[in-house]
Amino acid sequence: MIKRKIVTGALVLSLILSGAVFAYAEDAPAFQVNGTSVAFNSETGLPYVSETDRTMMPLRACLNAIDCQVDWNQEEKTALLSKGDIKVTIPIGQSTIFVNEKQVKTDCPAVLKNGRTYLPLRAIMESFGYAVDWDNKTRTVHATELTASTINGGTTGIFSRRQLTFDGFDGIEGDVTLPYVNLAEKGDCPYVYFGFDWENDLGNVEGGFQFIEDEAHPGYNKWTVFMRQGASWLNGSNSYLEQGSKHHLKLYAENVSKNQADLVIQLDGREVVRKVSDRADFDKACAKAVVSMAMSKVFDGSNCFSQAKGAKLENVKVSKTGTDSYSDFYGYELYHKWNPSLGKSGMWFGTADCISSYLHYDQDGGVSIYKAN
């Protein structure tokens, strides 16, 4: 075994703030973690502007603020970060990092300059369960730990939510592998679904698969198709599906008239649910894809012991309003927004992992929900 040399004391790491570009160093942004400002000085390193007009911020000061260990592997030219069960490796010269050995793409390669490593802030902070948002008015980067109470909908249970911006979508489809379920408490219920949301949060739509946890139900311990909009809840009749089975799911709005649209779910090419939509303005809607474990009690971040393992959402595509074609879901911008005025300490909306300690991503794209030991 080759003994690796780890240097900790002399290393000063810095990062590129992803997406924030400034012309002068004095315009460099402030940085806050959970609402507390992080101070920079000559010892920690001061923000400055790179040759490519990226604002550099000292990584060690940022990571110290979240109690993260920072090391340097001189032989392999990699930065090594760790906190709890999360370990991040940053190879120099590559547009990727490795989170618990899983490759994650970044928007630019890590570089080594004057003994310092530079990398996008968002990729690092999100790896450790923090949401990153930019406030252009105050020129402040907000890094907020995503807890059940700081994520919109987070107290309802665990979920992996990927949501697009509100640019007008009226269809979403993909191949879904239903997870294997082990329920530890009555009232816990897994879901895998697509949906449409609006910014005013009225008339939001969810359509996909619901696990049947009621022992008296004829489809007990299997999955069924559901659609929900507001107080209206519909199920696909006699659509009882096995755990681990794979299906093609399509949720879309069909225009009936100028002021009316029908919501339709197709399962494996066959229509199984249809209802008149409460809204017809899909030109203002976003699309989302979700794997979740809903709970009947308030989720506090540690009180769920049920499991749903091996869910997959593959080949997910969306349709923009006014078009008949479908294209890659991830070819569009993901939506996320931090609102500091909501809740006790602010609220995170849109794309989120609630919470990272419960969500486990496999190399083959699988998503599992369970509490890590």
Q: What is the pLDDT of residues 258-286, one digit of tens each?
A: 889 999 999 999 999 999 999 999 999 99
CA distance 126 to 144: 9
Q: Domains in the chain and their CATH numbers?
A: 6-145 (3.30.457.10), 148-369 (2.60.120.200)
Q: Give pTM, 2 decimals.
A: 0.79
- Cα distance between residue 201 and residue 198, in whole Å: 5
The pLDDT tens digits of the residues spanning 64-94 come to 899 999 898 999 999 899 987 788 998 988 8
The Cα–Cα gap between 140 and 125 comes to 15
The mean pLDDT value of the chain amounts to 86
**Whole-number percent of the chain with pLDDT over 70:** 89
CB within 8 A of 280, min separation 6: which ones?
A: 253, 255, 258, 259, 260, 261
C-alpha R_g of the chain: 22
In three-state form (DSSP H/G/I as H, E/B as E, the rest C), the secondary structure along the chain is: CCCCCEECCCCCCEEECCCCCCCCHHHCCEEEECCEECCCCCCCCCCEECCCCCEEEEHHHHHHCCCCEEEEECCCCEEEEEECCEEEEEECCCCEEEECCEEEECCCCCEEECCEEECEHHHHHHHCCEEEEEECCCCEEEEEECCHHHECCHHHEEEEEEEECCCCEEEEEEEEECCEEECCCCCCEEEEEEEEECCCCCCCEEEEEEECCCCCCCCCCCEEEEEEECCEEEECCCCCECCCCEEEEEEEEEEEECCEEEEEEEECCEEEEEEECCCCCHHHCEEEEEEEEECCCCCCCCCCCCEEEEEEEEEEEEEECCCCCCEEHHHCCECEEEECCCCCCCEEEECEEECCCCEEECCCCCEEECCCC
**Tell me: the pLDDT tens digits for 18-75?**
443 333 345 667 888 988 999 888 777 776 656 766 666 777 788 889 999 989 899 9
Which of 10 and 322 is assigned the larger pLDDT? 322
> Which pair of tokens denotes residue 85?
């069960």
